[in-house]
Every structure is written in structure tokens, then in C-alpha cells.
């Protein structure tokens, strides 16, 4: 800091003379020091990749865990404390998350960064039509904490029937009554059980609540963490104005018996063809060095709903016909990569008469406020934590549509354009939305499909096995479009409420080439949805959990891959059916249950 002060005074010596200059200089350096200390002294666990590589290919560990994301960080940490005598290797393809990931309001700016896998979907001509190359971007976290480093931090369990469906599909012990204790454990750990939580302040909460109340719905505020019909303010995983990256939270209690390899990609699982046993993994470090590492007990895949099936396919576990086309020996013929489900959403933009603008100077002041005090709008995610739920058929309390929300001030040049480009919209779409924003502020309401009937798949590309093919098959089932159009009809009812009319809230027309020939009919909305809809980054189901005899599952209820003794999967890819909510909470719960499954198999007298 002394060098910094010297540079400032030498650059502009006159204004920094006297008491005023000295005080101002101290203030500037204090702000810079605040930015430098944003991690509050936290240090990520060391990278032992080179040390492991230097030990040679005969090295062995009791457990090898692939992926240090939301599930993998929990699983590795708790396993290390229950079994301190076990040697545990945690392998992560990415590195430590950057400082930007700590700031909650930067969630839209973390996409397409060095800690994002930046996956792209296969263009099918039926969806993602308003995106560059007609392909949607599927951002997934790459680094310690995985997607918890770049997601919206929203914590919602889902609906109880979600997990009843898991159980009735043949997974005894995975019902909601069985998982409640695991949800509660995470909520206590992340300090989101406080019933007196004051919440975040946002004028739009009350506006939208009142509009929904006019239509006969209840405002649930911060009441419980389940997805229920009506409006809801969801809790987000933040502490002291910063993101609660799951790895950071769990690594606070990481045992000394855990070795972490960063910037290291697992290229395949080593399998014994005769015994159908996982022997270990083949890894490649960013330096180019590769080696085999042996697992004495188990290999656990926690690489996520894209990378986990990709790794299984590369290892010879998957649909026989597909593997034969790739000249990969099929060791186990299982439906790996099938059953892909995702929450699809799209924006509806509304003008208002509030006409708010946020000058750049004020943004700078708010950023300084955050750096010094960890408070203000940069300490939260604005309107994005506000949710609402409906059942479009009005036949149960089980929602099939969730609404996400955003708000952009007039002529927003700080968030809007980076967000639109980061999501992947084409230049035409970005320019059309920017043109609307130059004239007025915009409220965004995003219908989100909670119970998709369409199913996609993950495949390998013959030309480049390292890049998975993501076939979303959005709208493969016609009911999905029907449900989304019903959601639009509901939003149009909101538009007519007195609460919305009082603020001049009216739907804006985003000019989309190819849709302009239609008026606001179902044909127009179908065209609009096919152009504007994209992922909420919730892919699940690609290594489905279920009984081996049903023919559609990859792992049993113990999370062991069918036909193998010691290859286990602990991530969102095992979900038989997507939860009716943002998926982080359910992923944490399943990882916590996986810990108990291990304790049941290996036995333990230790308590966490």
C-alpha cells in the first residue's frame, strides 16, 4: 500500500497536499485494501497435482472422487472426517474460483469466464433459434465449488411430490420423508433456518405480490423452502454479503487425509473387463502429463449431469450402438446420457412508468459501498431471488410453472448487454432488447417449465470425443409448448391487474425476424418461445437412478452403477425426475444421503 500511495501522490502531487489530500489518499487505499481482502483471509486448499504426478503411476488411494463441485465438495469433506484413516483423492478439472465469483450481484457476469465449461447445445432447428449459431449456451461451473461458483445461489427444496416420484419409481428410501433431514442439515449449515431473517429490500416484491393477490394467490415471503403455489422470496446462499461457495463452506472441515488435484481432467475410468470392477482413473494434467491412479475401494463420479455421462461413455459404459459407432469397446450396455431433463425459460419484458436510471457514477459509489461494507445492491441478486408458482391446469397444488424475475433500469449499460451476450442471444436479439431499454426501464418475467415431458440426451462426438454433444430435444413433446403458452396467458392476466396498471406495466414487443407475421396468437408465442427460450442451467437425469430391471436406469438406489461393484455416482445426473425448483438444494441433499449410504456400507462409529 505504501507503494500505491507513493504512485498516487507522484502522479497528482498538488491535490494530495495538506490534510485533505492525506485523508483522501487514506480513503482510496482503504477501498483498494477492502477489495484485496474480499476473501477475508480464506485460502483454498493447496493444489497437490504435481506432487501426485511425481509419485508415479503406482500411487493408490482408498477413494477417488471426480469433481469438486456442489456434491463432490460435500462428499469429500464429510467422508474425510468420518474415515480419517482413508486416503482420499479429489480431482478437479478447474482451479480456485476468482474474486468476481464472491460478489453476489456479479452472477450474470461470471458466465463464459475461465471457471465456466461454456457448453453449447446441438442446434436442432426447433429451439434456441434466437441465439448465436442457433445453439444455447449451457454454463456449468468449472473449479472448486462447481456451479455454486457461478449460479444464482437460490435455495429451494422443490415440491414434496418430486421426491415421492423418485421413491415410487423404484428408489426406496429416496422419498421426501427420507430426505427432509438432509435438507435441514444443509439449511442449518448455511444458516438459512433463521425464522427471523429480515430479508432483502426491493420495491418490486410488494408490487408483484399485490398483483398476484388480486388474482387470488398468497404471498409466502420467506416461509419454508418448498415450492408452493403463489409468490415467494427465496433464500440465497450468501453470508456477510458474499457468495457461499459450497466448496469453501465444506472445505472448512476438510480432513488432512484429502489430496486435491486441480487443473486435472479425468479422461476415463479404468475397468476390469472380467470382474466388472472399477480399478481407478486415467488423468491428464494441464501440463500435458498423464497417468493412471488406482482406487483401492471406490471411484466416485461427481462431475455433473454433462461430464459424468461423458466420462462413462469414454470408459465404455453406455448404449452399445452409440459406443460401437465411436469404436469404443462397450463393457456395459446401459442408457448413459439418456433421460436428460432441464428447466427451460424465456423472458417477457414489460415497460413501466417508473423511468428509473442508474448513472455510472452512482454505480461506482454503490460498488465502493460494497467493497468497504459488504452491503448494498451488490451484496444480493436484486429481483432474481423473487419467485412465483402456478399450476396451469389449476388441478393441484403441484406447480408446473415457476416465474423468475429481473429488473433493468432505463438505458442500463452495466448489466443488460453483458447478460444478453453471456446467455448467447444473437446480435439481432440483443440490439432489439437494447433499443427497448433505451426508452424505458424494464421488468422481466420469465416463465419456467418445471415438469418438462421432453427428454434429451448426452452423446460423444466422433470428431472430438472431448466435446459432448448436448441434444436438448426441447419441445420434443408438444405439451411443453402448450404449458408455456398457458403461462404467458397467466402473465397477461397479471398485466391487467390494477397494481400493474398503476405503474404503467405493459408488455413490450421484442422484434424477432420470423415471428413478425403473427399477431399475439398462440402461433406468435410458439415462434417467440422457440427463439427466446433457453436453459436455467438445471440439467439432471443423465445417469438415472432406478432398479436395474427397468431398463432405463444407470445406478441403483445405492448410487452404484449397475453391473459394477465399486463405481458410484453422486451428483444431479442420478435424479430420475427433475425437481420443481432450482436444483442446488436437492443436489446437496442427495450428496448428504450418499454419505449415509457409505456409512451404511462400510460402517462407522464416528459422528459428524
Residue 477 lies in a domain: no
Annotated binding site for FAD: 266
Residue 323 lies in a domain: yes
Residues 6+ apart with CB under 8 A from 356: 409, 410, 441
C-alpha distances (whole Å) from 201 to each of 43, 213, 357, 377, 381 are: 32, 19, 18, 9, 11
Residues 11, 97 within the same domain:
no
Give the distance from CA 68 to its chain's centroid: 14
Residues 277, 334 within the same domain:
yes
Rounded CA-CA distance 294/277 in Å is 12
Residues 305, 248 within the same domain:
yes
C-alpha distances (whole Å) from 571 to each of 145, 231, 305, 560 are: 13, 29, 7, 12
Find the distance separating the first CA and the last CA of the chain, reported in whole Å.
Answer: 43
Residues 6+ apart with CB under 8 A from 590: 71, 179, 182, 570, 571, 572, 574, 575
Please give the pLDDT value at position 608: 40
How many domains would you assign to the chain?
A: 2
Rounded CA-CA distance 561/529 in Å is 37
List residues bridging with 340 in a β-sheet: 456
Residues 26, 154 within the same domain:
no
Residue 514 lies in a domain: no
Residues 16, 143 within the same domain:
no
Q: Which of 136, 102, 103, 117 is nearest to 67 (CA)?
A: 117
* 1 pLDDT higher than 60: no
* 26 pLDDT higher than 70: no
Annotated binding site: 266
Range of the domain at 174: 44-109+139-192+239-338+457-466+540-608
Look at 87-91, 222-226, 300-304 and tell me which has the smallest mean pLDDT: 222-226
- Helix axis angle, 2-11 to 18-36, nearest 10°: 130
The confidence band for 4, taking pLDDT boundaries of 50, 70 and 90, is: low
Look at 103-112, 236-245, 319-328, 529-538 and tell me which has the smallest mean pLDDT: 103-112
Please give the pLDDT value at position 267: 98
* 224 pLDDT higher than 90: no
- The more confidently predicted of residues 223 and 553 is 553
The confidence band for 435, taking pLDDT boundaries of 50, 70 and 90, is: very high
Residues 143, 92 within the same domain:
yes
Torsion over CA: 477, 482, 484, 485 (sign): positive
CATH number at residue 253: 3.50.50.60
For 555-584, what is each residue's pLDDT tens digit? 999 999 999 999 999 999 999 999 999 999
Residues 6+ apart with CB under 8 A from 155: 187, 190, 192, 225, 234, 235, 236, 237, 582, 584, 585
HEC-encoded secondary structure of 464-486 = CCCCEEEECCCCCCHHHHHHHHH
Please give the pLDDT value at position 18: 65
The confidence band for 607, taking pLDDT boundaries of 50, 70 and 90, is: very low
Residue 115 lies in a domain: no
Residues 51, 92 within the same domain:
yes
Alpha helices in 401-450 (DSSP H): 416-423, 427-439
Give the distance from CA 43 to its chain's centroid: 23
Rounded CA-CA distance 487/474 in Å is 17
Residues 26, 145 within the same domain:
no
List residues bridging with 348 in a β-sheet: 445
Please give the pLDDT value at position 56: 86
Rounded CA-CA distance 10/22 in Å is 13
Neighbours of 338 (CB within 10 A): 21
C-alpha distances (whole Å) from 387 to each of 153, 226, 441, 445 are: 13, 11, 20, 10
Residue 197 lies in a domain: no
Residue 545 lies in a domain: yes
Residues 94, 32 within the same domain:
no
For 99-154, what is each residue's pLDDT tens digit? 889 999 998 877 778 889 999 999 999 999 999 999 999 999 999 999 999 999 99
Residues 6+ apart with CB under 8 A from 534: 128, 131, 136, 137, 344, 345, 346, 423, 424
> pTM for the full model?
0.94
DSSP-derived secondary structure letter, 96:
P
Neighbours of 284 (CB within 10 A): 14
Residue 51 lies in a domain: yes
- Helix axis angle, 176-189 to 584-602, nearest 10°: 110
Residues 89, 167 within the same domain:
yes
Rounded CA-CA distance 116/423 in Å is 12
Please give the pLDDT value at position 110: 77
Residues 186, 271 within the same domain:
yes
Residues 105, 12 within the same domain:
no
Residue 531 lies in a domain: no
Q: Which three cell numbers stand for residue 519?
A: 399477431
Amino acid at each position: 500500500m505504501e507503494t500505491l500511495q507513493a504512485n498516487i501522490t507522484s502522479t497528482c502531487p498538488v491535490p494530495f497536499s495538506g490534510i485533505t489530500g492525506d485523508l483522501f489518499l487514506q480513503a482510496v487505499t482503504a477501498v483498494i485494501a477492502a477489495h484485496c481482502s474480499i476473501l477475508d483471509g480464506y485460502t483454498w486448499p493447496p493444489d497437490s497435482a504435481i506432487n501426485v504426478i511425481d509419485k508415479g503411476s503406482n500411487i493408490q488411494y482408498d477413494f477417488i472422487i471426480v469433481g469438486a463441485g456442489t456434491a463432490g465438495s460435500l462428499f469429500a469433506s464429510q467422508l474425510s472426517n468420518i474415515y480419517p484413516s482413508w486416503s482420499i483423492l479429489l480431482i478437479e478439472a478447474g482451479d480456485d474460483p476468482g474474486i468476481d465469483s464472491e460478489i453476489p450481484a456479479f452472477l450474470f457476469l461470471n458466465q463464459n469466464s475461465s471457471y465456466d465449461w461454456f457448453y453449447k447445445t446441438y442446434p436442432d432447428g426447433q429451439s434456441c433459434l434466437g441465439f448465436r449459431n442457433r445453439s444455447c449456451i449451457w454454463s456449468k461451473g468449472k473449479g472448486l465449488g462447481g456451479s455454486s461458483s457461478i449460479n444464482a445461489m437460490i435455495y429451494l427444496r422443490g415440491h414434496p411430490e418430486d421426491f415421492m416420484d423418485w421413491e415410487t419409481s423404484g428408489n426406496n428410501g429416496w422419498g421426501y420423508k427420507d430426505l427432509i433431514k438432509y435438507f435441514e442439515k444443509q439449511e442449518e449449515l448455511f444458516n438459512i433456518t433463521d425464522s427471523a431473517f429480515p430479508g432483502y429490500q426491493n420495491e418490486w416484491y410488494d408490487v408483484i405480490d399485490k398483483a398476484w393477490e388480486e388474482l387470488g394467490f398468497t404471498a409466502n415471503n420467506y416461509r419454508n423452502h418448498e415450492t408452493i403455489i403463489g409468490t415467494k422470496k427465496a433464500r440465497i446462499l450468501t453470508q456477510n454479503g458474499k457468495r457461499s461457495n459450497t466448496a469453501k463452506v465444506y472445505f472448512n472441515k476438510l480432513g488432512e487425509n484429502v489430496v486435491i488435484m486441480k487443473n486435472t481432467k479425468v479422461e476415463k475410468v479404468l475397468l476390469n473387463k472380467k470382474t466388472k470392477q472399477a480399478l481407478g482413473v486415467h488423468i491428464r494434467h494441464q501440463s500435458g502429463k498423464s497417468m493412471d491412479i488406482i482406487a483401492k475401494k471406490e471411484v466416485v463420479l461427481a462431475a455433473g449431469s454433462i461430464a459424468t455421462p461423458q466420462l462413462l461413455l469414454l470408459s465404455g459404459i453406455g448404449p452399445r450402438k452409440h459406443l460401437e459407432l465411436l469404436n469404443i469397446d462397450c463393457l456395459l450396455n446401459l442408457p448413459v446420457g439418456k433421460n436428460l431433463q432441464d428447466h427451460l425459460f424465456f423472458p417477457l419484458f414489460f415497460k413501466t412508468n417508473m423511468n428509473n436510471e442508474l448513472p455510472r457514477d452512482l454505480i461506482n459509489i454503490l460498488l465502493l459501498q460494497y467493497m468497504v461494507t459488504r452491503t448494498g445492491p451488490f451484496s444480493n441478486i436484486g429481483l432474481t431471488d423473487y419467485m412465483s408458482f402456478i399450476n396451469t391446469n389449476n388441478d393441484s397444488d403441484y406447480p408446473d410453472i415457476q416465474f423468475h424475475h429481473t429488473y433493468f433500469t432505463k438505458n442500463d449499460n452495466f448489466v443488460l448487454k453483458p447478460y444478453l451476450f453471456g446467455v448467447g442471444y444473437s446480435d439481432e436479439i440483443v440490439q432489439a432488447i437494447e433499443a427497448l431499454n433505451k426508452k424505458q426501464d424494464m421488468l422481466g418475467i420469465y416463465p419456467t417449465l418445471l415438469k418438462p415431458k421432453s427428454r434429451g440426451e448426452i452423446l460423444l462426438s466422433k470428431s472430438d470425443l472431448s466435446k459432448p454433444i448436448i441434444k436438448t430435444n426441447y419441445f420434443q413433446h408438444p405439451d411443453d409448448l402448450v404449458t408455456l403458452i398457458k403461462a404467458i396467458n397467466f402473465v397477461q392476466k397479471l398485466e391487467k391487474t390494477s397494481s400493474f396498471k398503476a405503474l404503467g406495466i405493459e408488455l413490450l414487443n421484442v422484434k424477432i425476424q420470423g415471428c413478425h407475421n403473427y399477431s399475439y396468437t398462440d402461433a406468435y408465442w410458439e415462434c417467440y418461445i422457440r427463439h427466446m427460450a433457453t436453459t436455467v442451467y438445471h440439467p439432471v437425469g443423465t445417469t438415472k437412478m432406478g432398479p436395474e430391471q427397468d431398463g432405463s436406469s444407470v445406478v441403483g438406489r445405492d448410487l452404484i452403477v449397475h453391473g459394477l461393484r465399486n463405481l458410484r455416482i453422486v451428483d444431479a445426473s442420478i435424479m430420475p425426475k427433475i425437481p420443481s425448483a432450482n436444483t442446488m438444494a436437492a443436489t446437496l441433499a442427495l450428496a448428504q444421503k450418499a454419505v449415509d449410504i457409505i456409512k451404511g456400507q462400510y460402517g462407522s462409529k464416528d459422528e459428524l
